[in-house]
Chains A and B, each alone.
Chain A
Amino acid sequence: MSLGSRDFWGAAALSLLLLVFVLGVWQISTLPKRQGPSANDEYAKLMGRGAKKTEGLPTPGQIGKTAWKQLAHPFYDRGSNDKGIGIQLAYSLARVGAGYLLAIVFAVPLGFLIGMSPLMHRALDPFIQVLKPISPLAWMPLALYTIKDSSVSGVFVIFICSLWPMLINTAHGVASVRRDWLNVARTLEVKPLRRAFRVILPAAAPTILTGMRISMGIAWLVIVAAEMLVGGTGIGYFVWNEWNNLDLANVIFAILVIGVVGMALDVAIGRLQKLVTYVD
């Protein structure tokens, strides 16, 4: 795995070259075509010809300009349906945060229970197996109907999609703590609660964190779709709103932002994971 510094720079240069190549091809292939002068000037004007108008995919240059405009004022607020990208991101992150924390509160204790008791494991397994593969968005109509609040429904959808990876990983992590350690704890007559916190939790922590990392990835994927469905606020609503206007430059910009934020979240939990990892 160890790359020499020469290899590192080589890889970086290759990445850069690829990027430039892709952008170059993109720019050239999407350059606006010149439209011939129309016989009917009035018609042409009504069709918006000659004006700045998106023709198919925008060029990387246009996207850059859009991105600059958005990033220069990320927190503007021009009414309930027109807010800056920063505010929209904050809404999405708040929803993900709420649903995700709620999922942790449920999944970790329940995972402990399942992991420590083979009986519970067998009893709950069928439910988990059926509920796990359901697309979180399929819950949306039901949530809207029963919860009767669209933003809480959004949080619920995040909760339900983050729940399963955490639950399964926690259970697995707890179940596969080395027997030796548990036996040592028993020999020393450690009380159950103390055993859970001082022996099992540290031992299972890396697996639990893996579950959390997977959950966060899924939650971030789902929030965009959920907000496109429910609307109102958030980065998903932003994409939907710009799609209405067929403003692809803004849509692509938003896609890039979603990617960067998703990566940042993943890296953050990755760091956390490193902290609890141990060598046997």
Chain B
Amino acid sequence: MSAFNNPFNPDVRLGAVCTCGMHRSQGEHDAAVEVPADSDPESLSGRVIQSAVMRALFPRDAARRRFLSAVGSSTALAAIGSLVPFGPLEAMAQEKGALEKKDLKIGFIPITCATPLIMADPLGFYRKQGLNVTLNKTAGWALIRDKMLNKEHDASHFLSPMPLAISMGLGSAAQPMNVATIQNINGQAITLHVKHKDKRDPNQWKGFKFAVPFDYSMHNFLLRYYVAEHGLDPDTDIQIRVTPPPEMVANLRAGNIDGFLGPDPFNQRAVYDEVGFIHILSKELWDGHPCCAFGVSDQFIKENPNTFAALYRAVLTSAAMAREARNRPLIAEVISPPNYLNQPVTVVEQVLTGKFADGLGNVKNVPDRADFDPFPWQSMAVWMLTQMKRWGYIKGDVDYRQIAEKVFLATDARKHMAELEMKAPPRSYANIKVMGKEFDPAKPDAYVASFAIRKAA
């Protein structure tokens, strides 16, 4: 590990013996000493190069240390940097390596949440990265899970809690799965059947049947949160069924369900087909909540690091474009054909532009009805875990942070966003406000305990 230590620090030895002399080898020393604070992969690889150069300049480590002590490390860095081009050397080492795998299969569910992932195909963002991607429309979330576990898909559109659940082995065989980016924020809604036009107060919903896309979905957690805040126990007072999003409108029309908290375009589609109305946008519950994610397995990242990086760039490029309001009508146009969403363009456009009919005779204008912030906040993961705990999906103690940090790849996202000159937040945790109630990701257990209606024993 000595190559990772700062070669401009006179107290660090670059030789074979350990730096402090207390250990027999550098390995033992490193085991005892923590990895340097700025230990992200990029600066570490920079260190390796700097160390190599310093070792070439000062074959005898004692000479290097005397030199550094004499002139000071920053002067030394500047002086040697003027002779040796550290920057280009580092860039060369980091240059995009050859793609390990070019033909990729990516699964998706035909909903607007998958916008960045889908539009990268017709707009050529995958091809630009040298990837030949086949997008596979998939019938439901359980199948998305199975096809990822089977490795039929290389990467996939996920509900953002799914990689957490799969990694923990909840409702699935345990396999380490990651959230590379969040696909979309907001963009969901509670849609009710038109016959319930005068039942806008959740107190009147006792006995209602609702559909959500999957157990491990933000939809399920938000619906439960919403009705619980209104005094209903989601496990006993209402019925929640899992229904694949595309089948929600058909079920609503048939009267099998009274409403759903589902992804768009199906909320808008229910309005368009005059079977439902939009009761509340999910944005009004938690502004900026994550919904779907772009995920890959641990194994895929390990076996195909360069392909993964290329894929990352393609999806982030998409997200950056999708964030611009002026691009939204064009995006609606390219993702609506039968090969992708298979929906009328006007429905998708209403979702993406935020100018929509609500099914009650009003035209509403909510430009941030759907947005595509890709950054995978680890605080979001902790929130999801608190809700899994709250509703009894997780039993026993949970190491919230450890799971969140393992599954949500905030560091990678930050690195790749920087490459594309996108702004990424410096922190990975932030407080969250859901229906006016503050959530502090540092105190997850207290948060779970603070709810009157919950299942956790």
Contact = CB atoms under 8 A, between A and B. Distances in A.
Nearest to B106: A80
A245 B139 contact: no
A240 interface: yes
Contacts of A53: 272, 344
B271 to A, nearest CB: 7
Contact of B274 (A47, A80, A231, A243): A47
Contacts of B274: 47
Given A40-B361, A230-B143, A78 B134 contact: no
Contacts of B350: 46
B139 A230 contact: yes
A244 B344 contact: no
Given A79-B339, A81-B135, A241-B342, A150 B150 contact: yes
Interface stretch (A98-106, A141-149, A164-172, A200-208): A141-149
A80 B247 CA distance: 21
Contacts of A229: 139, 143
B152 interface: yes
Contact of B356 (A46, A78, A150, A240): A46
Given A78-B337, A80-B135, A46 B150 contact: no
A63 to B, nearest CB: 18
A46 B273 CA distance: 11
Contact of B337 (A82, A237, A240): A82
B372 interface: no
Contacts of A145: 146
B137 interface: yes
A47 B271 contact: yes
A97 interface: no
Given A46-B356, A47-B274, A144-B146, A82 B363 contact: no
Given A46-B350, A243-B250, A228 B139 contact: yes
Contacts of A244: 110, 246-247, 342
Interface-central residue, A47, A82, A144, by most chain B CB under 10 Å = A47
Interface centre among A53, A80, A148, A243 (most CB of B within 10 A): A80
B149 to A, nearest CB: 8
Interface in B140-161: 143, 146-147, 149-152
Q: Tell which of A144, A145, A245 has the most Cβ of chain B within 10 Å.
A: A245
Nearest to B253: A246
Nearest to A81: B137
A75 B180 CA distance: 37
B135 A47 contact: no
Given A46-B357, A47-B271, A80 B339 contact: yes
B437 to A, nearest CB: 34
B246 A47 contact: no
Interface in B391-424: none
A242 B134 CA distance: 20
A48 interface: yes
Interface in B239-295: 246-247, 249-250, 269, 271-274
Contacts of B343: 245
A100 B29 CA distance: 66
Nearest to B355: A46
Contacts of A242: 342
Interface in A32-87: 40, 42-43, 46-48, 51, 53, 78-82
A245 B346 contact: no
Interface in A2-58: 40, 42-43, 46-48, 51, 53
A232 interface: yes
Contacts of B357: 43, 46-47
A43 B272 CA distance: 11
A210 to B, nearest CB: 35
Interface in B328-384: 337-340, 342-344, 346-347, 350, 355-357, 361-363
Given A46-B363, A245-B343, A231 B146 contact: no
Most chain B C-beta atoms within 10 Å of own C-beta, residue among A43, A145, A244, A245: A244
Contacts of B269: 246
Contacts of B135: 79-81
B150 A148 contact: yes
A78 B338 contact: yes
Quick one: which of B249, B271, B338 has the most chain A CB within 10 A?
B338
Given A240-B139, A243-B246, A244-B246, A48 B363 contact: no
Nearest to A39: B361
B428 interface: no
A48 B272 contact: yes
B423 to A, nearest CB: 33
Contacts of B151: 148
Contact of A78 (B137, B150, B339): B339
B136 interface: yes
B306 interface: no
Interface string A222-241: 00000011111000010011
Contacts of A42: 363
Interface of B: 110, 121, 134-139, 143, 146-147, 149-152, 246-247, 249-250, 269, 271-274, 337-340, 342-344, 346-347, 350, 355-357, 361-363
7 interchain residue pairs of minimum CB distance: A244-B246, A79-B339, A82-B339, A231-B139, A46-B357, A148-B150, A81-B137
Given A47-B274, A80-B137, 8 more contacts: A43-B361, A46-B350, A46-B363, A79-B339, A82-B339, A144-B143, A240-B246, A244-B246
16 contacts: A42-B363, A46-B350, A46-B357, A47-B271, A47-B357, A78-B337, A78-B339, A81-B136, A81-B338, A145-B146, A150-B150, A228-B139, A237-B139, A242-B342, A244-B246, A246-B273
